[in-house]
Amino acid sequence: MSERSSKRSFATRPADPESWIKAPDRPSPRADPAAEFTARLTIDVTADMRGRIKIAAFQRGQTVADMLRALFEREFPTSEGEPR
């Protein structure tokens, strides 16, 4: 009864977390084809803020990720001479 099942669960941990974190994301149909590598950004927000962000994105017909990418592009534009 205490034997572990050999069946893999839905959320198995990667064998090598470092390479998994640094690996590029699989291309998304919405992704910009010019972007060769993306990195995941995790932030802590209150449940209320998360709800407001999701509602705003829905009202604009966007995903939260696309809306936040546009916000970051506006707030932090690429400077001349800086690699893209």
What's the Rg (C-alpha) of the chain?
A: 18
Contacts of 38 (CB under 8 A, 6+ apart): 24, 25, 31
pLDDT tens digits for 3-57? 666 666 666 766 777 777 677 766 566 555 555 677 888 999 999 999 999 999 9
Write out pLDDT tens, residues 60-79. Answer: 999 999 999 999 999 999 88
Question: Is 0.85 topped by the overall pTM?
Answer: no
Mind giving me the DSSP string for 35-82? ------------HHHHHHHHHHHHHTT--HHHHHHHHHHHHSPPPTT-
Judge whether 36 and 24 are in contact, CB under 8 Å: yes
